[in-house]
Structure 1
């Protein structure tokens, strides 16, 4: 009998061990190295253990985790879209989960409110309306725009997204006092027990949810957005949308009494049943709701997001001096002002012929202020797999963006000239396109999901074009800016791109495109081209 009891006990403990190991396998494990935004994070064992404890805690109650995941899946498409539009790395999206668990009217002990947990003063700094009628901290679209603006402002002080993220919790002054300048411009960061707790907690949320976002755990439907210009009421909007007023109140807690004022356009969201017709790209390893082909395609397309390239490392504070930075891991230098090839070559200490050769420059090409120029030869392939062509780009500008030789770019895609480029075209940056293989042009709605704004002449349904061995060139969409007003703005003391964009009613990304700016840095007295609609 004792012998049988021993066998039973052993069987019980064996089953317990199996169940425990199965549960452990389902919980994501913290790796030794993590990619976050444009940083490489190297974790020692103690940092890994601390973060793993938080990951385990987030997964401990699976019912609670699934409830939270349902909420994340409802709101995350709006978060991703606004972060992409602002040029903030998508990895920052996990911060909203950490801050509020995507609960619209969440309130902290320090009286921070809403999705991104803004205090009233900070919310007003990023142009959110907070009063007794409207609280945009509870509006997923408005609050994410504000969070993106705040995060970018913080990061501009450090050129390091870890510091910028911690500044979200500490404030910019607190983060400067805490970090000093030790991480400014650094792209490889080692984490240990002294790493700020807030950042380690953020990494736990990133690891816990990274492979889960987009995996449907219940049939909750999806959120649809409509832009509403008041004055009107949720009741009137509900009648138009054929939903109840209470339904709109549940998902739009930013209006306290159901009134929508006429001071600006507000995003109203409501729940629709079924699967979303098209959702923004979700950068995760989850394959639960997509086929392996679709997931691979999504990953490739998401690599070409604005802001990911060029990858600039080194002493970015002295980028205009030789031997200070690398662009796409190639030695390079930034032009401080527009000048000739001869003058620029003399300034950076290389031969004019070499400058022209390694940058694929024509003899008459001038050096553009703020642009990066390589001082060593570019590569035959890029780190990214593909690039999605944007309006106004050329083969040369794309080759510079990724540090790929112009001849290689042309050969891989069987394209000979800029006349063959079409906005939305998917170019190969690593593999050669097969002979006779069609070139895909993404439909306009999919481009918008990726944060790519194109003219309305871009195709609205999937299109393929024949490689350029065909006799007739592919027409390029007309430029809608040709009939707009062209102005010159001189940068004044205290101005930044955001304030200039607000003054003229244009987008920051457009100002950067018109002036060939690779980042947000501008200087007093600099002349900027503005194309006012």
Structure 2
């Protein structure tokens, strides 16, 4: 055979192989998008080499090959996004972190990546959960509760951003073990660097996440759900089983179990977590109605009668731009639908977005609640009923929307300087301003209202005990169960507090037993309570003259005369000599009267300083599980400022410690 012919044949074979490989590569490129050499995340830009770009491309191809799994990821991403985005926006976390909510790959070492437990959101392992005070025990696992996990992850992101000074490092610290970050010297190389080079497969945690992000970003714009669904947080789930909730709301139990894997016990425990119900958009109003009818705690909404909603088809005909219109408290209203924002609501209502925001006491960029009816004309300056009793979780804005009264009017009527958190059971004034000499009133609402509901239907009410506290103090309420057929019209706040709501006012003699329940408005110095005789000493209680032992009588006379010298009385008291009602001790009783703790009036300058301090500072009582960092995040202040304001000497704060926080 001719050598030239042989070489020519070899060349043709080689040419066909090269062309075939190019065609196959072109086919791959058509199936999956080309990965760019630079990928932006938050405020940083990741730069890829040929090797790392190939790794991202391979991971992207694997994700797209599993069509079924990709579809499930898109379903959850679409369902959870309206819940997650407001939390990230509130915590000022970059929007790109939203791709982490259902992503759960974790790089445990340089060579291997693993998956976290099934149902865990935001790649939260137990260590991260402990750092942000998420509860993980035999009853519940807040890492698997979408809302609780999202709030915890947002705190974790903010904390790590302060630590690493870079959102890319924050991302890497969330996806990989700390040993890997130390080994690669991430904090040293990446701190405050807007361009980050990923030049080694050791960054596989970020490379795999970038591939996932590209896949979701490419598919989500063309994704169409089979059925649009909404995440509804069922607020009356405490003490119930999932099967009972499914029966009450008429939903599938399997769906409840799938999206509530955070629950490890049979019944929902007492916690901040509520059962999440996945509701089809066309059943949202129906399920919310079932939810209100099913609740057993607090006064039923059906007895309250507000807001008064009436579907109005005439309005929808006159406004041809779409939307479901209502008459809400005899005012025109429009129901918020999926993806509605103030701009779209104003467009449907035919008004400006500024007016829509003004009518509903919101901002133009606020997120709207799906299914909520918003006003499209100005609310009234006062409600149709004089009073309202605050229930669990209600805010001033909720109450203003419920009765169709302006938020500014509520503030004026109740002498609020700013919008503040409300205490359960507080009586709010809705028509007139509460007089200065009128006490702030509270109604102690029972946990279970079955008997109360039956009495409301029968028109019977139980006995009320009355007591008044002078000045701007408190009136507390307690339901008794002895007498019947009480005429409510003869009692204060009877008909005004809504159907069947009852008030009771305590006796002055019982104030000492309720000292711990009094709000901040109470001036304890005017109450007939026992006096404190020194910060570290015991309180001396004088009940009657007969109960004062003879041995202590000279001391009490000295104190009455105003003797401010330090007096120490130390005398053994035999058990037999102590009468009933006295304080019994085995050894000695010591009563010390300290000069600095005497009940003299403060100088005027000190009183002025105290008033100025109360005006500029809030007081926060440390609760179980709270840290200085968590308190600083909640009040949007720096830890160093808390340190200075409270003269702290340690980063550890004990439960019950009262901290000053600047307004």
TM-score by length of 1: 0.51
Counterpart in the other structure of 2:134: 128
Deviations 1:379-399 (A, max 9, x none): xxxxxxxxxxxxxxxxxxxxx
CA shift for structure 1 position 37: 0.8
Counterpart in the other structure of 2:71: 66
Unaligned runs of 5+ in 2: 1-17, 107-112, 286-341, 345-350, 378-405, 421-613, 621-625, 647-659
Alignment partner for residue 174 of structure 2, among 168, 177, 181?
168
User: Residues 29, 477 of structure 1: CA spacing in aligned structure 2 closer, same or farther, 3 A cutoff?
Assistant: farther
CA shift for structure 1 position 247: 3.1
Question: Relative contact order (alpha carbons < 8 A, sep ≥ 6): 1 or 2 greater?
Answer: 1
User: Residues 235, 166 of structure 1: CA spacing in aligned structure 2 closer, same or farther, 3 A cutoff?
Assistant: same
- Whether 1:146 aligns to 2:152 is yes
In 1, the alpha carbon distance for the partners of 2:210 and 2:123 equals 18
Retained in 1: the 8 A contact 2:41–2:96? Answer: yes
- Whether 1:158 aligns to 2:164 is yes
Counterpart in the other structure of 2:40: 35
Retained in 1: the 8 A contact 2:230–2:280? Answer: yes
- Whether 1:499 aligns to 2:631 is yes
In 2, the alpha carbon distance for the partners of 1:446 and 1:89 equals 28
CA shift for structure 1 position 40: 2.6
Q: Note the 1:263-274 alignment, pairs <5 A.
A: 263-272=271-280
Q: Note the 1:58-457 alignment, pairs <5 A.
A: 58-99=63-104, 114-172=120-178, 175-176=181-182, 178-193=185-200, 196-213=203-220, 215-229=222-236, 230-272=238-280, 452=366
Moved over 6 A (4+): 13-20, 444-451
Retained in 2: the 8 A contact 1:112–1:120? Answer: no
User: Residues 79, 68 of structure 1: CA spacing in aligned structure 2 closer, same or farther, 3 A cutoff?
Assistant: same
In 2, the alpha carbon distance for the partners of 1:216 and 1:163 equals 31
Counterpart in the other structure of 2:617: 488
Q: Secondary structure at the match of 1:260?
A: coil
Q: Using the TM superposition, name which of 134-143 and 232-241 deviates more.
A: 232-241
User: Residues 256, 49 of structure 1: CA spacing in aligned structure 2 closer, same or farther, 3 A cutoff?
Assistant: same
User: Residues 99, 218 of structure 1: CA spacing in aligned structure 2 closer, same or farther, 3 A cutoff?
Assistant: same
Q: Secondary structure at the match of 2:34?
A: coil
User: Residues 453, 137 of structure 1: CA spacing in aligned structure 2 closer, same or farther, 3 A cutoff?
Assistant: same
In 2, the alpha carbon distance for the partners of 1:111 and 1:213 equals 26
CA shift for structure 1 position 90: 1.5
How many residues align? The count is 333
RMSD (Å) for aligned C-alpha atoms:
5.0
Deviations 1:453-501 (A, max 9, x none): 89xxxx94689xxxxxxxxxxxx9859672458552699xx97553245
- Whether 1:46 aligns to 2:54 is no
User: Residues 154, 175 of structure 1: CA spacing in aligned structure 2 closer, same or farther, 3 A cutoff?
Assistant: farther
Higher-Rg member (1/2): 2
TM-score by length of 2: 0.42
Q: Secondary structure at the match of 1:182?
A: helix
User: Residues 14, 185 of structure 1: CA spacing in aligned structure 2 closer, same or farther, 3 A cutoff?
Assistant: closer
In 1, the alpha carbon distance for the partners of 2:138 and 2:616 equals 40
CA shift for structure 1 position 167: 1.0
In 2, the alpha carbon distance for the partners of 1:521 and 1:171 equals 29
In 2, the alpha carbon distance for the partners of 1:15 and 1:182 equals 43
Unaligned runs of 5+ in 1: 1-12, 102-106, 278-423, 427-436, 464-475, 502-506
In 1, the alpha carbon distance for the partners of 2:158 and 2:283 equals 33
In 2, the alpha carbon distance for the partners of 1:28 and 1:60 equals 13
Retained in 2: the 8 A contact 1:160–1:186? Answer: yes
User: Residues 164, 143 of structure 1: CA spacing in aligned structure 2 closer, same or farther, 3 A cutoff?
Assistant: same
In 2, the alpha carbon distance for the partners of 1:445 and 1:31 equals 47
